[in-house]
Structure formats: structure tokens, C-alpha cells
């Protein structure tokens, strides 16, 4: 189905190999007439295989075709820029605001879907540097894609996320994120829902709502807040810099946020990202991971929030997942959550 975003104009088209491309423009922008993709690409043939680990029950995806995906091309050959003479890209138009398209090198396809979300046509900007209006348009795109992908019968979980920085493993430097519409529940979500179910049975309340209430009451790990959202460092943070952003009202996913909640999220998120980048002399590498509720199973137990984390533990040091973390899944942190929260508060003061 095609949804209608609340505060944006959506324009659908297709690329030369049949993949979907969607433009999101401000609601008052001129009507867009998409240009045709001139590249004449062959139809994609992704090769994905799912296997179940008998020891953990986790689903492991094998996508060998991704080994040939584009890797750190020169800036003037970026496939996420708007097209121009000599560089026909994934976005045929000569300019765009926000663009979403099916990934040419998806981790899975058939069941499930993988999409790329381009935050801006400006190759040299980061999300932190987006205007309030531009960032708000990205939120509309996330909400619209969440609603549409959640309606697919082959999707169990919709995961919008962003990886920033080569240290994280980014292969394209253009400001962008992705959306994985999983045909299964990811292991982390299975764990969180199991804990939420146990908490509901024992305490009779929502685990995530209780965590938020406890953090707001304690106050030591609060980084910033506004009328509808609170950003805090979790009391058992795994990563050197980790901040969770929670709405004050329990909702299942981004599409359920009100206009005011979307506005307040945008302001708080830009604030927190600015604090991340203000810690050191250069941009902080990070992963921004939305955690909506599952599409079907245990949806009532979920609570939309965003987890923002960085692997940098000092100006010139990266936290690597070594023996304990990789071998046993037991995290050992070099930073104290209360200290991280205080540092981030001071950065913004």
C-alpha cells in the first residue's frame, strides 16, 4: 500500500531495474515530476539464505552478493548524490530533499525488505548539521516507511537505523541510514520482549515505561529532555557513549507519534547529536538504532525508543569487542554511565 505522510509530499517512482524509489518533500513544495533512471540496470538477483543456529535459536542471514557492494567511492562518484552529467546515481533527479529506495545490495529480499534512506542531497552534511525542518522531514519518511512496511505479511520487525563513521563500518560517506524490514524477530528484540513479558507478569506494568520513570526520578543520568521526550544514559550502558531517547507516552512505532511528539523528538535528537560531536575534536562515530515494538508478536509489550551509541572511549581510542564481549557476550565498560551523562550535559551547557 502507499501511505500519505502527515507533514510531507510523497512521490513514488521506479529505478531502471524495477526497484522502488520514493521522494519526500515539504508539503508546500512544488509537485515533483521524477526524472527517468537512464542507467539501464539489470534486474537485481539477491542471494540470501536463512539458517537457524541450533545452539541459540538465532536466525543467521547469508547474503554473499553483498561482498561486491560499493565501498568508499570517491566523493564525485557517490551513488547517493543527486544525478548529474557524468554521474548517474541511485537518485535520477538533480536535487532532492529526502529519498528512500530499495537497497541494490540487500541483506534479504523476497521475505523482508532492505531500504536506504538519504537524509539530504548535500554530500558533505551529517544528520547533526541538518536544519530542524530537514531533520523533521526525515522523521516523516521514517514514519511513512514504518507504516507501509509493517503492513507487509512477510515482515515481523521494522528497524530504521543509521551507521556513521568509518570506525563503525560505513561504506558510503553520504549522510544516510537504512531500514531493515526483517522477516523474523532479531535476537535482541526477542531478548527484550522476553524480559518485558517477565516484568509484566511480576510487576503488572510495562518494563520500558518503568525504566523511563526510574531514570527521570533519579535524574543523575539524564542528558536532556523536553515536553515529550527524555534522553538518558542507561544505568547499565554497554558502550562507552550510550544515550537512549524515550517518548513520555508509550507508542509502538514512529508512525504512532503525534505531530508534537515528532517535533519534540527532532529537537531533542539534534541536541543530543550535537553533544556527541562536541565531546572531541572530530565527529563521533555512532549507531542510531530505533527500537519499535514487533509488528505482530508481543506488540503490546514494546515501547518505541531510540538507542544511540558510540564505540569511541577516548579521543584516540576505540572500544573493540574482544574476548569477553565477542566470546561470551559479557560487556566490560571503561566508562561510568553517570560520568558520561555529566560530560554530555556539560557539552551542551
The CA-atom distances, in angstroms, between 157 and each of 71, 97, 179, 267, 283 are 27, 27, 10, 26, 30
Of 310, 267, 307, 311, nearest in space to 288 by CA: 307
Name 72's bridge partners. Answer: none
- Is residue 270 within 8 Å of 128, Cβ to Cβ? yes
Task: Judge whether 248 counts as a catalytic residue.
Answer: no
The CA-atom distances, in angstroms, between 280 and each of 33, 67, 285, 310, 347 are 43, 33, 11, 12, 10
Q: Could you give the 3-state DSSP secondary structure of residue 162? A: strand
Q: Tell me which residue has cell 556527541.
A: 276
Instruction: Say how far apart CA 232 and CA 244 lie, in whole Å.
Output: 5
Name 225's bridge partners. Answer: 230
Name 246's bridge partners. Answer: 230
The continuous run of DSSP H or E covering 114 comes out as: strand 113-118
Among candidate residues 65, 94, 123, 176, the one labeled active-site is 176
The catalytic residues are: 176
Amino acid at each position: 500500500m502507499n501511505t500519505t505522510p502527515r507533514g510531507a509530499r510523497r512521490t513514488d517512482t521506479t529505478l531502471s531495474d524495477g526497484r522502488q524509489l520514493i521522494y519526500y518533500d515539504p508539503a508546500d513544495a512544488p509537485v515533483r515530476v521524477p526524472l527517468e533512471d537512464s542507467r539501464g540496470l539489470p534486474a537485481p538477483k539477491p542471494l540470501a539464505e536463512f539458517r537457524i543456529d541450533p545452539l541459540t535459536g538465532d536466525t543467521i542471514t547469508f547474503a554473499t552478493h553483498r561482498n561486491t557492494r560499493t565501498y568508499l567511492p570517491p566523493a564525485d562518484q557517490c551513488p547517493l548524490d543527486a544525478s548529474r552529467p557524468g554521474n548517474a546515481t541511485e537518485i535520477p533527479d538533480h536535487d532532492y530533499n529526502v529519498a528512500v529506495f530499495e537497497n541494490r545490495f540487500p541483506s534479504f529480499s523476497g521475505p523482508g525488505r532492505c531500504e536506504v534512506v538519504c537524509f539530504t542531497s548535500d554530500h558533505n552534511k551529517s544528520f547533526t548539521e541538518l536544519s530542524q525542518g530537514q531533520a523533521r522531514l526525515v522523521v516523516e519518511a521514517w514514519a511513512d516507511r514504518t507504516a507501509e512496511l509493517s503492513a507487509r505479511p512477510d515482515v515481523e520487525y521494522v528497524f530504521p537505523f543509521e551507521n556513521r563513521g568509518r570506525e563503525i563500518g560505513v561504506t558510503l560517506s553520504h549522510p544516510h541510514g537504512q531500514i531493515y524490514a526483517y522477516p523474523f524477530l532479531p535476537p535482541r528484540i526477542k531478548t527484550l520482549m522476553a524480559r518485558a513479558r517477565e516484568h509484566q507478569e511480576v510487576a503488572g506494568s510495562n518494563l520500558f515505561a518503568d525504566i523511563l520513570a526510574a531514570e527521570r526520578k533519579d535524574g543523575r543520568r539524564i542528558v536532556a529532555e523536553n515536553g515529550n521526550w527524555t534522553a538518558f544514559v542507561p544505568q547499565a550502558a554497554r558502550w562507552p557513549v550510550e544515550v537512549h531517547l524515550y517518548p513520555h507516552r508509550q507508542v509502538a512505532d514512529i508512525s504512532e507519534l503525534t505531530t508534537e511528539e515528532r517535533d519534540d523528538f527532532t529537537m531533542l535528537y539534534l541536541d543530543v547529536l550535537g553533544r556527541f560531536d562536541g565531546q572531541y575534536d572530530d565527529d563521533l562515530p555512532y549507531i542510531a538504532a530505533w527500537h519499535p515494538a514487533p509488528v505482530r508478536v508481543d506488540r503490546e509489550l514494546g515501547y518505541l525508543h531510540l538507542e544511540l551509541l558510540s564505540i569511541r572511549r577516548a579521543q584516540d581510542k576505540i572500544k573493540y569487542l574482544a574476548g569477553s564481549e565477542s566470546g561470551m557476550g559479557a560487556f566490560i565498560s571503561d566508562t561510568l554511565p553517570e560520568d558520561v551523562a555529566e560530560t554530555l550535559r556539560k557539552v551542551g551547557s
